[in-house]
Amino acid sequence: MKIPLILLTNDDGYNAKGLSSLLNSVKDFGEIVLIAPDRPQSGMGHAITVNNPVKCKEINYFEGINAFNCSGTPVDCVKMGIYLLNGRKPDIILSGINHGSNVSTNILYSGTMAAAVEGALDGIPSIGFSLTDFKEDADFSYAEKIVKLITGKVLLEGLKTGTCLNVNIPNVNENKIKGIKVCKQGKAFWEDTFEKRKDPLGKDYYWLKGSFTSKDEDKETDINYLENNYVTVVPSQYDMTCFESVENLKKWKL
Amino acid sequence: MKIPLILLTNDDGYNAKGLSSLLNSVKDFGEIVLIAPDRPQSGMGHAITVNNPVKCKEINYFEGINAFNCSGTPVDCVKMGIYLLNGRKPDIILSGINHGSNVSTNILYSGTMAAAVEGALDGIPSIGFSLTDFKEDADFSYAEKIVKLITGKVLLEGLKTGTCLNVNIPNVNENKIKGIKVCKQGKAFWEDTFEKRKDPLGKDYYWLKGSFTSKDEDKETDINYLENNYVTVVPSQYDMTCFESVENLKKWKL
C-alpha cells in the first residue's frame, strides 16, 4: 500500500499548540509535510497574497518533520505547500487544530477552513479541525483522538471530489461527548460593532467586536449539535450558486 | 416612496476608477454612503481584521458624497459602513466595479465579492460588479449602464434573503455584447506556481503566479458566457454544505 502524503497547515501559526497536536495525531499515518503561517492569521478567510511576494523557510521546529513557515495566509500556505512538493500531490490536507470553533458561516471567515476549502478546490480530500477553546494552552487530547478517527476514515474512504470536512470538537470532558454528528452548516451571524478609541496622537481607531448569534430553528446544524456536546462534521463545497434564484431571476428578462 | 440607502465599497481602494464609475452609475438612485479600503485589497477574500485595530476616516475625495476610507479589508469596510450608519440599514450594498473579472471560484478569493457576500450575510440585497479589464484606466462606460440596469431591478424586485449577485461584464465594444445571462458559478481553478527570486540580502522570496483554467464542459456557467461576450449574473449564497455528502457520510457511522 502506498504511504499517504499528508500536508498539514493551520491559521494560528506554526508555533500554535493546536498544530503540534494535529501533527502528533497523524504523524504515523504517512509522510508528513507541514507548512504554516509564520504568525497568527486568524480571520484571513480565503485571502491570498497577490500584491506582495511571500517568504517561506524551512524550520526545525518539529523534530524529524519536513516543515516550513510562510509569511502568507493559510491559503498561500496550501498553494506554497503544493508548489514545494514539486509535482507530488498530497493524498490529504489537514488544517488546524484551530484554537476556537469554526461552525456555521465562520467557514467564510476562518483561515483554517479556507485552507481546507483550497484543498477541495485542488481536488484533494481536506479536513479542517477546530476545538471550542481559544486558549493558547487548550487541551487537545480528546481532539487528537477525533483527528485520528476522522483522518483515518477519510484516508480509507475518500471524499467526494471538490469537498472537504469542517470538523468541530466541543471543549468538554470526554465523558460528556454525546457522539459525532454529520450535519449541515447552521445559519448564524456576527452581530458586529466596533469599539472606538483614541491613539496617543488623538486619532480615532476601532476594534471589531462581534457576538455570534443564531436564530436558526433547524436542529440539524453544526451550531446546534456542537452546543449540545457533539463533535460535528459538515461536508463542505465551494459552489456558492443559489440555484433557486437562478430560475427566479431568469424571469426578470434582463 | 422611501429614498433607498445605498452603501458602496470595493476592493481596489477608494481611489480606483471603478469605484468612481460605480458611484457615477447610482448616485441619483438614493442616498449614498461610500466606504472603501485606503489601499488595494485585491485577493483578500472574506478576510476580516481581528488581531489589529482598523482606522477609518472621512474623505472629501467624492464631491458631495458621504465617504470614508478604511485601513481594513473589503469585509471590514462593510462592517464599518453598517456601524457608521448607527442603526440605519442599507437597502442595498454595491461593490466594485472591480478592475478584472470575478467569475467562477474567484468568488472565494475576491474582496469585491466577499463584500457582497457579507451583505448577504447581513440580509441586505448586495451586488458585486466586475469588468474583465485589469487596467487602471479601464473604460467603464458600458459597465455603468449594466450597474444602473441591474441595481434598478434589484431595488424594485429585491433578492431572496441571504443572497447576492455576482455580475461580470465583458470588456468588449457594446455592439459585441450578446445579452445578459443569469447562470451558475463555473468550475474553474487556479493552476498555481511561484516565481522564486532572491532579495538583495540573498534570501529567497516568491511571487504567486497562476493561470485560471476551466475544464468544465457545462455551458450554463458564468465562465463560458462571459467568454462568449455575455454579461453574467450569478445569484450566490453562503451555505457551503455539500448536502449529497451529508447523506453519504451518515453511512460511515462515525
Run of H or E including B25: helix B17-26
Pull the grid cell for residue A59. 524550520
Distance from CA of B146 to the nearest CA of A (A): 10
**In terms of CA atoms, which chain B residue is nearest residue A149?**
B254
In a domain, residue B198? The reply is: no
State the pLDDT at residue A172.
96
State the pLDDT at residue A1.
66
Distance from CA of B24 to the nearest CA of A (A): 21
In a domain, residue B128? The reply is: yes
Do A205 and B55 make contact, defined as CB atoms within 8 angstroms?
Answer: yes
Residues of B in contact with A206 (CB under 8 A): 53-56, 80, 83
Domain that holds residue B100: 5-185+217-250
B185 touches A: beta carbon within 8 Å: yes
The enclosing domain of A128 has a CATH number of: 3.40.1210.10
Determine contact, residues A107/A192, Cβ cutoff 8 Å: no
* Nearest partner of B119 among B156, B155, B94, judged by Cα: B94
B160 touches A: beta carbon within 8 Å: yes
**In terms of CA atoms, which chain A residue is nearest residue B156?**
A252
Do A160 and B184 make contact, defined as CB atoms within 8 angstroms?
Answer: no
The beta-carbon neighbor of A254 closest among B44, B107, B180 is B180
In a domain, residue B195? The reply is: no
B228 touches A: beta carbon within 8 Å: no
In a domain, residue B204? The reply is: no
State the pLDDT at residue B215.
84
Pull the grid cell for residue A171. 471543549
The beta-carbon neighbor of A208 closest among B40, B48, B192 is B48
In a domain, residue B54? The reply is: yes
CA angle A95-A227-B119, nearest 5°?
70
Q: How many domains does chain A have?
A: 1
Distance from CA of A63 to the nearest CA of B (A): 24
Distance from CA of A240 to the nearest CA of B (A): 5
DSSP A68: E
B149 touches A: beta carbon within 8 Å: yes
Residues of B in contact with A239 (CB under 8 A): 184-185, 187
The answer for B 112-141 residues in CB contact with A (under 8 A) is 114, 117, 121-122
* Nearest partner of A117 among A152, A73, A72, judged by Cα: A73
State the pLDDT at residue B107.
97
In a domain, residue A161? The reply is: yes
pLDDT in single tens digits along all 254 residues of chain B: 689 999 999 999 999 999 999 999 999 999 999 999 999 999 999 999 998 999 999 999 999 999 999 999 999 999 999 999 999 999 999 999 999 999 999 999 999 999 999 999 999 999 999 999 999 999 999 999 999 999 999 999 999 999 999 999 999 999 999 999 999 999 999 999 999 999 999 999 999 998 999 988 999 999 999 999 999 999 999 999 999 999 999 999 88
Residue numbers of chain A with a pLDDT score lower than 70: 1
In a domain, residue A253? The reply is: no
Bridge partners, residue A68, by sequence: A35, A58
Do A51 and B44 make contact, defined as CB atoms within 8 angstroms?
Answer: no
Rounded Cα distance between A188 and A131, Å, is: 18
SS (H, E, C) B40-91: CCCCCCCCCCCCCCECEEEECCCCCCEEEEECCCHHHHHHHHHHHCCCCCCC
Do B80 and A206 make contact, defined as CB atoms within 8 angstroms?
Answer: yes
**In terms of CA atoms, which chain B residue is nearest residue A118?**
B108
